[in-house]
């Protein structure tokens, strides 16, 4: 961890900014973000078919991989996260649910995803934790791992779409750091996704939350 206590040596920001807060993540997100409905919309958008291989970038406590597997039990689902502590929470949750999901620990560039081996990538509430260069590097790795025509589905913060969303997102941007969240809140996410090699980048919808506007994007490898 660095001197601020917030960024780890290998460059990632823990789910709630500080390791000590990680055990509170599920409760906070469930209460503040209408999590089930918000994530179900992402899963539905991805149209996951039997036999597909699906990666969740920054799977955190495993809520999204669990939903993916329940929506499509015949998919092979891989959760990737750089934080060993949060993967421990995910593993316990998946084991308790009796659900078979592969978890890989590390930056997505390091976990050995073979080129052209993936049909869908989903990622939720992760990219606003990454700098612009880290976003492009992670997405470029996933572009290479996707088969041609495979799809990326992203849920994350976007530009406020009304005055209320501008007001509520201000404290969140301060807490999470302007340098990492600016691409999201300034509307540069489509450009970042395209820079990583994706085509047909499209905004698919948005929702109001207590932290600001959440946006759904899709793109094709």
Ligand X SMILES: C[S@@+](CC[C@H](N)C(=O)[O-])C[C@H]1O[C@@H](n2cnc3c(N)ncnc32)[C@H](O)[C@@H]1O
Residues that bind ligand X (CB under 6 A): 12, 15, 29, 58-60, 63-64, 80-83, 86, 107-108, 124-126, 129-130, 138
Residues 6+ apart with CB under 8 A from 142: 55, 57, 108, 113, 118, 121, 152, 196
**Cβ nearer to ligand X, comparing 59 with 221:** 59
**Cβ nearer to ligand X, comparing 64 with 121:** 64
Shortest Å, Cβ 8 to ligand X: 9
**Cβ nearer to ligand X, comparing 7 with 166:** 7
Which residue is closest to ligand X by CB? 60
Structure token pair of residue 217: 């994007």
**Other Cβ atoms within 10 Å of 205 Cβ, number:** 12
Shortest Å, Cβ 190 to ligand X: 20
**Cβ nearer to ligand X, comparing 23 with 199:** 23
Shortest Å, Cβ 28 to ligand X: 10
C-alpha 81/C-alpha 83 separation (Å) is 6
Question: How big is the chain, counted in residues?
Answer: 221
Pick the closest to residue 57 from 89, 80, 37, 38 (CA basis): 80
């Amino acid at each position: 961890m660095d001197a601020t206590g917030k960024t780890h040596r290998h460059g990632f920001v823990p789910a709630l900014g500080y390791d000590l807060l990680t055990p509170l993540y599920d409760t906070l997100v469930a209460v503040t973000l209408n999590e089930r409905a918000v994530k179900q919309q992402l899963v539905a958008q991805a149209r996951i078919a039997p036999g597909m291989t699906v990666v969740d970038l920054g799977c955190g406590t495993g809520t999204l991989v669990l939903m993916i597997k329940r929506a499509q039990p015949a998919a092979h689902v891989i959760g990737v996260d750089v934080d060993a502590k949060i993967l421990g929470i995910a593993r316990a949750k998946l084991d308790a649910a009796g659900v078979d999901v592969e978890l890989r620990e590390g930056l997505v560039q390091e976990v050995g995803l073979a080129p052209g081996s993936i049909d869908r990538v989903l990622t939720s509430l992760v990219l606003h934790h990454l700098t612009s260069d880290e976003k492009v590097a992670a997405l470029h790795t996933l572009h290479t791992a996707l088969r041609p025509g495979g799809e990326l589905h992203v849920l994350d913060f976007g530009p406020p779409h009304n005055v209320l969303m501008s007001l509520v997102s201000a404290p969140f941007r301060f807490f999470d750091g302007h340098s990492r969240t600016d691409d999201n809140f300034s509307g540069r996410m489509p450009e970042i996704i395209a820079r990583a090699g994706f085509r047909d980048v499209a905004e698919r919808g948005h929702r109001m939350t207590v932290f600001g506007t959440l946006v759904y994007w899709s793109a094709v490898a």
